[in-house]
Amino acid sequence: MTLLSLLILLSGVFVGWNLGANDAANAMGTAVGARVRTIREAVIIVAVFSLAGALAFGHRVIKTIGRGIVPLDQLDPRQATLIALAAMLAAGVWLLWATYLKLPVSTTHSTVGAVAGAGLAAGGVPIFWGQLVDIFLAWILTPVGAAIVAYVLYQALQILVMRHVAIPDRIWGWLLTASGMWMAFSWGANDVANATGVIVGASLMSPFAASLVGGLAIVLGIATWGYRVMETVGTRITHLIPPMAFIAEVAAALNVQLYTLLGLPVSTTHSIVGAVFGVGLVFGRAAIDPRTARDIVLAWAATPLAAGFVSAVLFLLLARIV
Amino acid sequence: MRNIFGWMGMREQQRALEASQQHMEQVRQVVHLLKEALDQFAAGNLERVREIHEQVTAAEREADELRRDLLDQLSEGMFLPADREDLVHMVERTDDVADYANAASRLLVLFQEAPPEELREDLVRFGQLLVRAVEQLAQALDQLLDGQRRETLRLCTAVERCEEEGDALKASLYRRLLALDLPAGALLLLHDLIEAMENTADRAEDSADLVRVLAVKLR
């Protein structure tokens, strides 16, 4: 393995670690908050199910990121390696910066923007604009779809079940665990591509090996930092009651799972934001303050452009140096 | 933390801090009015004291409403600030500043004549001291919102010094009071007034302590 290949791999592992550290709480934070799972149990559940998701379905989105935006496998190996390296470094740098500034940016948007940015900077490289348009539409539909599904599911749960029977806390505990498992599974399946998609594109690994490496990097992030975030989010920040959390997670997981089957990289974070908003509507609450929503949309729009720009600059620099 | 729930919690924290800044502004107004009432009391303008007291009561009521709104915001959201307990305590203690200032103003209305000459200077100084304490407290909160941790801590210490000065002034006022031959009613009222002013300074210090806690936690 060359030094450049090793750098791509390390950048991918860093992106995977960042994912695990920051986003594990999305799946099981609510179960920890509702005291139905301990942090230790939650960490193990998220680690196991995100890895399982990555191994079972990760290859679908990996192919899109690695070959569907810029056909890295059909390019000259040097050019493909440089594009992959620039994209992974840009995504990693962008995520590091966003984590430092505590900005809610999407890893998916960073990676897709970075791959497209490096491809454009390379010049003469085919860019699959149709695929990019599909991804862009999926990004718009992700929060909207999750909100609608969450709203409908919660109404149905209220009308068909909660009005007739009182569900014991113990059952909610298991339901929350199950929805958290599905959330972790669908998150691992869709997001592992952000870490190792371009590694497959640059033909450095098979899709399965990349899913395994990316999945393990995510597990590393969960084990080293994710539990702290889970503790803070679960016990000190979210105030979702179990039925609310259950439906939000089911809606978000369903949404992400659907896009994974279509091979489209979408933001798990945005799916959750949409689902929580939908559940909040049932309660008649403005779950998300308009200023907060505006900033999420701004981060949504700026992330692919910024990551793409950084990636393009890095590609031009690398092309001169290497 | 880049996590979306964590980020939303931080945003709520920022909103709550901004709301507590509005509340602080109202508390500042109450204390400024109390100082004005004390100045007029020392000058023997008892009618003016009554007029100012009405303004104090209105301003204190407004502060209460802002406090209630803020507590509703902190208890009903789907995403809650991580340090909401400290925020709630800080707002409650700040509100106590306005409550005690209002209590002091209410006592001023009960006096039928100007205070004895020997007490006037210290009463005016106490009013100035309370304004200084609440100004520094408000600045500490402003600096906290701007992320200026060091300056926040310095201002909190300055509020603590004001409280210590308040203790010294209280002792001085008691010494002078005991040396006077006053009717029991006047003595009782003056005693309660001094206590209410000291409590105002004490609560400002308590509030500053909680601003300090937030400054350390929000690093």
pLDDT, tens digit, for every residue of A249-276? Answer: 999 999 999 999 999 999 998 999 899 8
Largest Cα–Cα distance of chain A, in whole Å? 69
Residues of A in contact with B88 (CB under 8 A): none
The structure's pTM equals: 0.82
Q: How far is A218 from chain B (nearest CA, A)?
A: 14
Predicted pLDDT at A285: 63
Would you state the pLDDT for residue B199? Answer: 97
Q: For the segment A57-83, what is each residue's pLDDT rounded down to a tens digit?
A: 999 999 999 999 999 999 998 999 999
Of the candidates A203, A189, A186, the one whose C-alpha atom is nearest the C-alpha of residue A66 is A203
Other C-beta atoms lying within 10 Å of the C-beta of residue B117? 9
Given this model, what pLDDT does residue B1 score?
64
Which of B1, B10, B78 is nearest residue A229 as measured by Cβ atoms? B1
CB-based contacts of A129, cutoff 8 Å, min separation 6: none
Give percent above pLDDT 90 in chain B: 79
pLDDT digits (tens, 9 = 90+) for A191-226: 999 999 999 999 999 999 999 999 999 999 999 988
Q: What is the mean pLDDT of residues A29-45?
A: 89
Q: Inspect the interface and report whether the beta carbons of A236 and B80 lie closer than 8 Å.
A: yes
B82 in contact with A, Cβ within 8 Å:
yes
At A76, is the secondary structure helix, strand, or coil?
coil
**Cβ-Cβ contacts under 8 Å, A272 against chain B:** 4
pLDDT of residue A64: 95
CA distance B205 to A27: 42
Distance CA A163, CA B75 (A): 26
How large a percentage of chain A has pLDDT more than 90?
A: 69
With bands split at pLDDT 50, 70 and 90, how would you rate the model's confidence at A306?
very high
Q: Which of B30-34, B86-90, B124-128, B135-139 has the lowest mean pLDDT?
A: B86-90
Say what the ipTM of the complex is: 0.83
How confident is the model at residue A322, as a pLDDT? 79
Is the Cβ–Cβ distance between A109 and B2 less than 8 Å? no
> In this structure, what are the phi and psi dihedrals at residue B197, rounded to the nearest 5 degrees?
-70, -40
Give A-chain residues touching B5 at CB under 8 angstroms. 25-26, 29, 233, 237-238
3-state secondary structure of B134: helix
Residue pair A31/A234 in contact (Cβ under 8 Å)? The answer is yes
Relative orientation angle of helices B84-110 and B184-217, to the nearest 10 degrees: 160
Q: How many CB atoms lie within 10 A of CB B187?
A: 14
The structure tokens listed for A186 are: 């669908």
Q: Where are the alpha helices (DSSP H) in A106-168?
A: 107-122, 129-156
